[in-house]
Structure 1
């Protein structure tokens, strides 16, 4: 796992640097500079734009990862073919969007009419995010993940911080903030393009006839089959926020978005590892190395669960202290239990490891398509049932329930079809090491300042987790690897 480990570490560094910026943005700058309605509009427009990306992409991202190993040359031609194909998807999505504009307006007219004024920005965000996603997949095929992650996780958030800060200084209007989002996403795209061009991985090449026989038709067929799965997967991630805006209010979505972002930190290690693991899984399938896939499947599950469970414990035990520093916390603290349910759903996701990626690159990718579409319809139905009853907590409970169901079905399918499983005795040990730390949530320390309280609880959580890990013999391989890297980099 040397390539995976190296790129994952770099990617994780950028991801967590992005988290730091994200925390400053979402937990302080945005609530301070924007009122709840403006923040809800700000998030809803971005979520809509990003929701359309996989529909416009037409599955090109997975198609690049799967078919890239089959090319020994003409990789740049493959990139331009993929970009052209996805642009046709963008044109189709745009046509549908304009054709259904009255219906889209109707969704928000009653509870969130402010969104209607900025619907034109949605497609421009979609365009630049779409082009960036294709470049990400192309760079990932070369195992160049870290720098694209920097532009996506750090650069994008940094420019957004500047945009909102300029609004806070009264130099621009809120409408110009929304227009500035298009510039921000555009600059992020050109940053990734410039990086890959600098590496010599991009050359203008439209010589598509040089591809192997049947390559283009196989690529298009696979992409079209998998795009609905990718789109439905994104729908599962984004639809709850949009439904909260349309069914409750923009203020409720602002509360939900802040809570969701807190919980999202839990899954960042999974996102970093998954991006690098995808081309490796595709290569193993090309060589029919099922034992190597199962080993990778299990390793990733254990390492993700070990790290993510610790992050979950740290966040949840400090949740009241974290909210203490959010401007207007009396409004936003209503999302406390949203953090718990969303984070729990992320734990389900990381424990079941890269089951979705394995299905996508196996001969059973059509099952993943059917399942993902079914789950996207299920979460819409659950949200329509739970949001009117439980409000924003209903959306979070629905997300967690769908994540568990979604992963459980994929696990059972892979286990029956290919005898693959991410679980082992170490999985139980990790849970045994992590769960006691959650007991600190009930620690009564109201007399301490929130900063001191966070420090005390964090030290205790780490102590319990690492102490239990030592007793159970967990994390030895990871610590040996870290020591070897430190020794190698030393004098």
Structure 2
């Protein structure tokens, strides 16, 4: 667990540095430099690439993590075999994109015709993402996560910022900036290759005959089965943005994207913990350590809720202040209710702990397909129903409902099949502490005319009150004891 905790802390740290850069990009740089429709186009191209990536990858990323412990003598042959399958998957996706170009184009023709001019950029980014995610999966199997997280969360966002700044100074026109996104993604992938090569974990060996045929079959079958689950999960998260562009327009997607991006910060600790927990859960299943998995399930639920709920509180109690710094505030602050709804959806995801990871690495992984396909259909239907009624808030509400239903279905299945349950008294006490802390901010803390001062006072009081309640409720005693031990160790070293 010490290695798990260390890697979680390092990846969380990288994630939050990336969040700072992401905040700068989305809350200030993009609104300052670009028009709303340009921001909408910029983000729509990225979202399309992210949506196509899992279909091209064919679930191989999770397959690498699951089967890595079984290829102790042929790891790098397994690595090159996985890369080959990823490239083949992209080739199939590209053929489908060409065959169905007309239906794809017609979806954006009325409200967002500019998207159709840059589908090629989305395809290039998709290919780069396929390779990059497979490199990350292989690195993750060695529990090397800090630098890959730094590359993905920090370096890539810095490169995107530099790309936009270059356009601001007139070094190239807007169309070249859109094409330049593919260069930014390529440079991030190249850094990943360099890192892995330096650590001796990037070797292309083509002795595929060393991999047992039975393992190849199981690996391929697992990838195809988990493909629908992985792609569907991403579809649930990204389809709303694309449907907003298609049904309302690029301007509306710019407002929605900025609100969504503020809320996404809430799940950063969960992502970091999930990345580190996946190989651990996979290994525990390989050793049939079910009791240990159930204990980890509960522990992660408490720890990630403790952090993520505080982040959500700090965002929501300061929502007016956050939008104060956004250029053209009057346009973009319309998305504040998107922040609330998506934020609640992220908290839902956090409360149910690592249920998706447990299903993926258990013998019941095929259930992921059923749950995900049902939720994909639901989220599309919810969006079609709610976007015409409530606009961008309808898209956010559709995401919230879909995330809750998706997690509830997975929770019930895990409970029935494995007997695991992430809910402890600590989870409900943390939620109570969060509600009381919000009430304190809303009813008792007066607003200050000075925005920065208001942020500092409000955030400080809410954080102190929240942590005090956690202590008084004894909601996370193990985590609290660990933090105090670390603080004590630091002070001991300083003496």
- With the length of structure 1 as denominator, give the TM-score of the two structures: 0.98
Q: Which residue of 2 aligns with 1:321?
A: 321
Alpha-carbon deviations, 1:150-197, whole Å to 9, x = none?
Answer: 111000000000000111111111111111100000011111111111
Distance (whole Å) between structure 1 residues aligned to residue 481 and residue 177 of structure 2: 48
Report deviation, 1:488: 4.7
Which structure 1 residue ranges, 5 or more long, are not aligned? none
Alpha-carbon deviations, 1:65-107, whole Å to 9, x = none?
Answer: 1100111122111111001001111001111111111111111
Q: Which residue of 2 aligns with 1:37?
A: 37
Does structure 1 residue 473 correspond to structure 2 residue 474?
Answer: yes
Asked if structure 1 preserves the Cα contact closer than 8 Å seen for 2:427 and 2:475, the reply is no
Q: Which residue of 1 aligns with 2:454?
A: 453
Asked if structure 1 preserves the Cα contact closer than 8 Å seen for 2:22 and 2:157, the reply is yes
Distance (whole Å) between structure 2 residues aligned to residue 65 and residue 33 of structure 1: 41
Q: Which residue of 2 aligns with 1:261?
A: 261
Q: Which residue of 1 aligns with 2:8?
A: 8
Q: Which residue of 2 aligns with 1:369?
A: 369
Q: Which residue of 1 aligns with 2:305?
A: 305
Paired residues for 1:424-443 under 5 Å: 424-439=424-439, 440-442=441-443
Does structure 1 residue 355 correspond to structure 2 residue 355?
Answer: yes
Paired residues for 1:334-349 under 5 Å: 334-349=334-349
Distance (whole Å) between structure 1 residues aligned to residue 484 and residue 469 of structure 2: 21
Report deviation, 1:455: 1.1
Does structure 1 residue 52 correspond to structure 2 residue 52?
Answer: yes
Distance (whole Å) between structure 1 residues aligned to residue 446 and residue 176 of structure 2: 45
Asked if structure 1 preserves the Cα contact closer than 8 Å seen for 2:302 and 2:476, the reply is no
Does structure 1 residue 98 correspond to structure 2 residue 85?
Answer: no
Distance (whole Å) between structure 1 residues aligned to residue 460 and residue 13 of structure 2: 22
Indicate the RMSD between aligned Cα atoms, in angstroms: 1.2
Distance (whole Å) between structure 1 residues aligned to residue 442 and residue 227 of structure 2: 42
Alpha-carbon deviations, 1:32-58, whole Å to 9, x = none?
Answer: 000001000000001001110000001
Paired residues for 1:166-205 under 5 Å: 166-205=166-205
Report deviation, 1:432: 1.6
Distance (whole Å) between structure 1 residues aligned to residue 150 and residue 448 of structure 2: 40
Distance (whole Å) between structure 2 residues aligned to residue 151 and residue 302 of structure 1: 28
- With the length of structure 2 as denominator, give the TM-score of the two structures: 0.97
Alpha-carbon deviations, 1:429-453, whole Å to 9, x = none?
Answer: 1112111111213557455211111
Report deviation, 1:212: 2.9
Asked if structure 2 preserves the Cα contact closer than 8 Å seen for 1:338 and 1:392, the reply is yes
Does structure 1 residue 120 correspond to structure 2 residue 120?
Answer: yes
Asked if structure 2 preserves the Cα contact closer than 8 Å seen for 1:316 and 1:441, the reply is no
Report deviation, 1:487: 4.9
Report deviation, 1:332: 0.3
Alpha-carbon deviations, 1:118-151, whole Å to 9, x = none?
Answer: 1111100001011001011111111111111111
Distance (whole Å) between structure 2 residues aligned to residue 402 and residue 160 of structure 1: 30
Q: Which residue of 2 aligns with 1:138?
A: 138
Asked if structure 2 preserves the Cα contact closer than 8 Å seen for 1:345 and 1:404, the reply is yes
Q: Which residue of 1 aligns with 2:382?
A: 382
Q: Which residue of 1 aligns with 2:230?
A: 230
Q: Which residue of 2 aligns with 1:484?
A: 485
Distance (whole Å) between structure 2 residues aligned to residue 81 and residue 340 of structure 1: 43
**SS, match of residue 366 in structure 2:** helix
Aligned length: 491
Asked if structure 1 preserves the Cα contact closer than 8 Å seen for 2:39 and 2:254, the reply is yes
Which structure 2 residue ranges, 5 or more long, are not aligned? none
Alpha-carbon deviations, 1:326-358, whole Å to 9, x = none?
Answer: 000100000010000000000000000000110
Distance (whole Å) between structure 2 residues aligned to residue 335 and residue 424 of structure 1: 34
Q: Which shifted more, 434-443 or 459-468?
A: 434-443
Distance (whole Å) between structure 1 residues aligned to residue 482 and residue 140 of structure 2: 24
Asked if structure 2 preserves the Cα contact closer than 8 Å seen for 1:61 and 1:134, the reply is yes
Report deviation, 1:463: 1.9
Report deviation, 1:418: 0.9
**SS, match of residue 189 in structure 1:** helix
Asked if structure 2 preserves the Cα contact closer than 8 Å seen for 1:305 and 1:351, the reply is yes
Q: Which shifted more, 317-326 or 409-418?
A: 409-418
Distance (whole Å) between structure 1 residues aligned to residue 421 and residue 61 of structure 2: 26
Asked if structure 1 preserves the Cα contact closer than 8 Å seen for 2:45 and 2:121, the reply is yes
